[in-house]
Chains A and B, each alone.
Chain A
Amino acid sequence: MQQKLRLYTYFRSSTSHRIRIVLNLKEIDYEPKFVNLLQGEHKSEDNKQELPNQAVPALHLPDGTILIESMAIAEYLDEVYPQKKLLPQDPVLKAKVRGFCELINSGMHPYQNLIMFEWIEKYVEKFDRVEFVQNVLKSEFQTMEKLLLQNHGKYSFGDEITLADCFLVPQVMGAIARFKLDITLFPTIQEVYNNLKDLPQFYKAQPDQQPDFK
């Protein structure tokens, strides 16, 4: 019988990366299950029950409940495992942290999703994924830089780690690795990112530290 939380994850999935960080920060022991998106394992018959939305991450609780959507999973973990709270108490600051996460979740990530690329490729013969994402993300990273300028301390919002940091690191790391982001153009993002990425909870969650890394 399943004892621990079970996380369906892909090493390079930015959304899975967020939850790996959250689980590490809260010191929650979990069992990873690897889903190779490039090989289409998320769409396979074998994973039909396990991945109800044919996507990662999916979090399986010991009683069999399946939770999906990284933002919803993160909120659940923050409510049920209150050690190392990731959302501030103050409602306005909490809204700012959530707003920052949503800018990434719905304002940036959809445009670098495999499902988006595959659809565009039906129309555009020589689709340059990198050029497309770079164009879309330019103003988004400028927005992030503005928000961090207003709110940052050591981390995105002050000197305590928040959920914003769990979204920022995967987004920036992925943009550097896959879309040639020049992070020196965004000095505040760079500063906060450098303060975070080598913390053990963040380092252990990154793609090249995952057992399914290729």
Chain B
Amino acid sequence: MSYTLYGFAMSSCTQRIRSILNYKKLPYTQVSVNFLKKEQLSEEYKKIHPRQIIPALITPEGQALIESLAIAEYLEEVHPEKPILPKDKIQRTQVRAIAEYINSSIQPFQHLGIQQYINSHTEKKLEWKDQWTHWNMLGISNLEKSISRTRGRFSVGDQLTLADIMIYCQIDSAQTRFGLDFGQYHNIMNIYFNVNNIKEIEQSRGIYQKDFPK
């Protein structure tokens, strides 16, 4: 009896869940939903996710869960071993704030639909890489400041949390996809390397997945 993760190797949101499943050593299988081939638009996937985006996680009992942060909180509650949220209520809130900031103020701004909208309304063409660069640099520079107040070995204190997994997946995705360079953000990159040393999380990267495009 195990989880089923619907997602794609190039999706940082899928990587977040894969990282948690591997970190907590939970059994799961993956089903590839290749958004480059628009596989998320299939009738089959529509039954699983009403908005037809990835990821989705099916529990062993057959419940379909959506939204990576809601899924992360579910896994943390039902499988508390190898915790990814601190016990202290203020620190939990600080972890959630970092996670929410990435989830709502960086990742959505990368949406291809925005580039398509701009390019259909202007002569000056916007490269998707430039869109990613703008929002990632802005977002990561804001996080660099805020985690300077909360960090220890990791972004909130000295234990790995969901905030670190979110930071890692965001940096990894931007580096892999568009070669963005975050070297000037010392706090962020310090945390990135600390997370990278955690085998289960490093091995959750998209490039190791069967459906990573050649």
Query: Which A residues contact B (CB, under 8 angstroms)?
Result: 52-53, 65, 67-73, 75-76, 79-80, 91-92, 94-96, 98-99, 101-103, 105-107, 109-111, 116, 119-120, 123-125, 127, 132, 135-136, 139-140, 143, 146-147
Contacts and interface: CB of A to CB of B under 8 A. Distances in A.
Contacts of A125: 122
Interface string B63-81: 1011111110110011000
B126 interface: yes
A79 B118 contact: no
B77 A94 contact: yes
B109 A72 contact: no
Contacts of B121: 123-124, 127
A75 B126 CA distance: 38
A123 B70 contact: no
B74 A91 contact: yes
A98 B71 CA distance: 9
Given A67-B97, A136-B113, A110 B65 contact: no
A95 B74 contact: yes
A95 B100 contact: no
B107 interface: yes
Given A52-B146, A95-B73, A98-B73, A71 B105 contact: no
B interface SS class: helix
A140 B51 contact: yes
Contacts, number: 123
Contacts of A70: 100
Contacts of A127: 121
Contacts of B114: 111, 116, 120
Contacts of B68: 102
Nearest to B106: A110
B104 interface: yes
A99 B100 contact: no
Given A68-B97, A72-B97, A107-B108, A95 B134 contact: no
B89 interface: yes
Contact of B122 (A101, A123, A135, A136): A123
B95 to A, nearest CB: 8
The residue among B51, B53, B59, B90 with the most chain A CB atoms within 10 A of its own CB is: B51
A187 B124 CA distance: 41
A91 B77 CA distance: 7
19 contacts: A69-B100, A71-B69, A71-B100, A72-B93, A75-B96, A79-B92, A94-B77, A95-B65, A96-B70, A99-B65, A99-B71, A102-B70, A102-B103, A105-B104, A106-B107, A110-B109, A111-B108, A116-B114, A136-B113
Contacts of A136: 113
B74 A109 contact: no
A101 B70 CA distance: 9
A9 to B, nearest CB: 17
Nearest to B61: A92
A124 B118 CA distance: 6
B67 A103 contact: yes
A132 B117 contact: yes
Given A76-B89, A79-B89, A119 B74 contact: no
A56 to B, nearest CB: 13
Q: 3 smallest A-B Cβ distances: which pairs? A: A98-B70, A72-B96, A102-B67
A69 to B, nearest CB: 4
